Amino acid sequence: MFYKRNFLKSILPLIFLLLGFQSFAEPSIDEGKALFKANCNQCHNKDMKSDLTGPALGGVEERWADYDQADLYKWIRQSQKMIDEGHPKALELWDAWQPTIMNNFANLTDDQIAGILLYVDGVYKGTYGPKPADNVVGGGGTEEKGNDLPFYLMILGILAILALILARVVANLNHMADTNDGTATGHRKTLIEQLLSPGVIGFALFALILIGGYITVNNAMDLGRQKGYAPEQPIKFSHKTHAGDQKIDCQYCHDGARRSKHSVIPSTNTCMNCHSAVKEGSKYGTAELSKIHASAGWNPNTGKYFADDVSDETIEKEFKKWIGDRYKAAKGEDVKEKRVKAEVNAQWKAIAGFVNQPIEWEKIHNVPDHVYFNHAQHVSVGKVECQTCHGKVEEMEVVEQFSPLSMGWCVNCHRETKVQFADNPYYDSYEAYHNEMKKGTRSEVTVEEIGGLECQKCHY
Ligand code: HEC
Ligand code: HEC
Ligand code: HEC
Ligand code: HEC
Ligand code: HEC
Ligand code: HEC
């Protein structure tokens, strides 16, 4: 018994050390990305390479290398103060950029700033997220997920060896003590006996449960939740072009959002409203827009839909003619016939699968089947902006999932958000609240207070 107690005593601090490892703060590149998006990207270009309202941030640490790291951190917290104090680098920046003033970010911790700088550097050097070429306008993209499991396994391994050595030492000490007391049995525990002792087995079980739990929780949390998810789509459709530059209203295409549970992805017909006129694009020529025409069964040469009994050969011939003609027009008539043929075949290969088929867009957002989410409730009744939940879609070349779509995300918003109570007939039935507001004893009603935290509202 004495031995076992000692063993546990010696192992306990190690267990606490192990548990403590999780909570050591470390600069995180993912947190840096989130912070950059929330605080910096309205002024600093997210490609890190070109100037915007403020200078491109790529390579900034090298530019500040002549000074203490603390100076750069201080700049980010209180740039104006540093300019006032006459710091040479600060004055140089001010000379170049005045009168634009950068905000103060006095609340950022060292780790958070380090995280932002890691992210800046990662995007600049192309080691983080999508390749720089996609990143120039798209941003986001697939995030690499740090896997620190090997690290934890290594720590565990080291701890296990330490524990074994300690156990050996303790056993020897016990044996010596017993010998001194004259109570020694003459039998000293062998390594095998020690390995099979309750203490060691207990520790091994404990470690297994810890690792198993860690893996399970980590994977479970990611199921169906993919913040930042931005799959490649069958057509290079850009929200920046359509909702941003062309200023097309979100609900022109997603007209379900206002009146139904689902926002609905527009059908090919909606695209054809414009792309029967805009037949060729400035970016991809015929390559992308012909996919829409093929899907609609529409002949871009004649501007008419193909007849029902048209043969596959005719469709192929018509599209190849269209692509070839437009390619020659773009390159000049003296372009080599071989080159045209190669282009035509390559484009047709990509388009053929779309003929008379609906476009199969990859779904990005998904809440699990047991959750009830209704767009109309939020957009029409709650008057929540699309951007609150989906981010600045009108700036995204490729849509990416902006919110975590976790239960905590829904519930937090319901706790904090006031419902637009006044002048909204949907809420007429809440007489008590209306009376309190009239009397002045209540100034606001949150979603929580109309039942927005009740399990069955969100769960089937
Ligand atoms: C309101 C616009 C604005 C915002 C927001 C902003 N900055 Fe700036 N930033 C500037 C401007 C403008 C400059 C150039 C110096 C000046 O005029 O103050 C600058 C300069 C810098 C520099 C020095 C660059 C160099 O080449 O040495 C760093 C670093 C920097 N900003 C980091 C950040 C970080 C990190 C954030 C977010 C936490 C941020 N900035 C948010 C406008 C902004
Ligand atoms: C010209 C039509 C059009 C307009 C305008 C438009 N969208 Fe879209 N939207 C699409 C198409 C097509 C898709 C599917 C392809 C994709 O994901 O890029 C889509 C996808 C989305 C998705 C992802 C859906 C998923 O799979 O989870 C969101 C979110 C979205 N749009 C929001 C918006 C918002 C917000 C606006 C307004 C700022 C807007 N859209 C404007 C056509 C449009
Ligand atoms: C309200 C009009 C309108 C609607 C509806 C519309 N578009 Fe567009 N689209 C445009 C305009 C304008 C451009 C810019 C053309 C250019 O840059 O040459 C464009 C450009 C594009 C491009 C880039 C072409 C290129 O080569 O640069 C693609 C791809 C595209 N649209 C796909 C779609 C799809 C898919 C839909 C349906 C979901 C759709 N569009 C609906 C007006 C529209
Ligand atoms: C309160 C948050 C919230 C608001 C506001 C919101 N959405 Fe969504 N959106 C979601 C969630 C959550 C999903 C996933 C729904 C699902 O899986 O059933 C989603 C999914 C989508 C989809 C994929 C198709 C679908 O319906 O599942 C599109 C497109 C979309 N939203 C567009 C919009 C547009 C356009 C607006 C504004 C008119 C908007 N959303 C407003 C949270 C929101
Ligand atoms: C940006 C804030 C916001 C987010 C995020 C949000 N909601 Fe809501 N939600 C609201 C508002 C505002 C209302 C009030 C509209 C109303 O009265 O129905 C509401 C109402 C609801 C209701 C009706 C409640 C009732 O008592 O009638 C349901 C159900 C609901 N939300 C589900 C969800 C689910 C599920 C999610 C997450 C996938 C979610 N919401 C995320 C703001 C939000
Ligand atoms: C405002 C909407 C909302 C309310 C209210 C709500 N949930 Fe959820 N719940 C969700 C969403 C969204 C998910 C899916 C989370 C995900 O996919 O990660 C979820 C997931 C779950 C899960 C599955 C475990 C998980 O995290 O995926 C359980 C269990 C659950 N909820 C129980 C409850 C209970 C019990 C209540 C009442 C106390 C409740 N929920 C109230 C939105 C809600």
Q: HEC profile for 130-156?
A: CCHHHHCCCCCCCCCCCCCHHHHHHHH
Which residue ranges have their beta carbon within 6 Å of ligand 5?
367, 371-373, 377-378, 381-382, 384, 388-389, 405, 409-410, 413-414, 417, 419, 447, 450-452, 457-458
pLDDT by 10-residue block (mean), the chain, 460 residues: 49 50 66 90 86 88 92 93 91 84 88 94 82 35 48 82 84 80 67 78 83 69 66 94 96 89 91 96 95 97 95 97 95 88 94 95 92 94 94 95 94 90 77 85 86 90
Tell me: do 88 and 157 sit in the same domain: no
Same domain, yes or no: 131 and 151: no
- CATH number of the domain at 95, please: 1.10.760.10
| Ligand 2 pocket check for 363: Cβ under 6 Å | yes
Q: Is 417 in the pocket of ligand 6 (CB under 6 A)?
A: no
* Number of domain units in the chain: 4
What does 272-321 look like in DSSP terms, one character per residue? HHHHTT--SBTTTBTTTHHHHHHHHTEETTTTEEPPTT--HHHHHHHHHH
Same domain, 130 and 60: yes
CB of 394 closer than 6 A to ligand 2?
yes
- Domain boundary residue among 135, 164, 182? 135
Query: Which residues on neighbouring strands pair with residue 371, listed in sequence order?
Result: 459
Instruction: Give 395's contacts (C-beta < 8 A, 6+ positions apart).
Output: 139, 239, 240, 244
**Dihedral angle sign, alpha carbons of residues 419, 423, 424, 429:** positive
Residues 88 and 166 in one domain: no
List the residue whose alpha carbon is closest to atom 34 of ligand 1.
40
Final residue before a domain boundary, out of 86, 113, 135: 135
Is residue 275 lining ligand 2, measured as CB closer than 6 Å? no
DSSP state of 231: P
Same domain, 380 and 438: yes
Name the burial class of residue 227, with classes exposed (0-12), middle (13-18) and buried (19+) by CB atoms within 10 angstroms of its CB. Answer: middle
* Burial group, residue 19, by CB count within 10 angstroms (0-12, 13-18, 19+): exposed
Expressed as residue numbers, the domain containing 210 is 147-222
In a domain, 17, yes or no: no
Ligand 4 within 6 A of CB of 409 = no
Among 222, 254, 286, the domain boundary falls at 222
Same domain, 430 and 452: yes
Q: How far is CA 242 from CA 45, 199, 239, 245, 380, in A?
A: 21, 65, 5, 6, 23
Distance of CA 51 to the CA centre of its chain: 24
CB 371 within 8 A of CB 458: yes
- 360 domain-assigned: no
Looking at residue 143, its pLDDT comes to: 37
Q: Return the DSSP state at 247.
A: -
Q: Judge whether 116 lies within some domain.
A: yes
Distance CA 448, CA 428 (A): 17
Does residue 19 contact residue 207 with C-beta atoms inside 8 Å? no
Decide if 24 is inside a domain: no
Whether 450 is in a domain gets the answer yes
4 is a domain residue: no
Closest ligand 3 atom to residue 289 Cα is 29
Structure tokens at 37: 């998006």
Q: What gap in Å lies between CA 226 and CA 365, rounded to an integer?
A: 8
The predicted structure's pLDDT at residue 1:
43
| Cβ of residue 457 lying under 6 Å from some atom of ligand 6 | yes
Return the pLDDT at 22: 43
pLDDT number for residue 147: 54
Same domain for 122 and 152? Answer: no
| Residue 126 and residue 46 share a domain | yes
**Which of 275, 279, 347 to mutate for ligand 3's pocket (most ligand atoms within 8 Å of CB)?**
275
∠ Cα 354 360 362 (to 5°) = 140
- 72 contacts 61 by C-beta, under 8 angstroms: yes
Q: Do 158 and 100 share a structural domain?
A: no
State whether the beta carbon of 265 lies less than 6 angstroms from ligand 2. Answer: yes
Number of the ligand 1 atom closest to the C-alpha atom of 83: 18
Is 2 inside any structural domain?
Answer: no
Q: Does 453 map to a domain?
A: yes
Write down the pLDDT at residue 389: 96
Judge contact between 117 and 32, C-beta under 8 A.
Answer: yes
Helices (H), 22-148: 29-35, 60-63, 69-77, 79-84, 88-97, 110-125, 132-135
Q: What is the pLDDT of residue 131?
A: 42
CA of 241 to the centre of ligand 3 (A): 7
Ligand 2 in reach of 361 Cβ (< 6 A): yes
Crossing angle (nearest 10°) for helices 69-77 and 88-97? 40
Instruction: Please tell me whether residues 171 and 121 are part of one structural domain.
Output: no
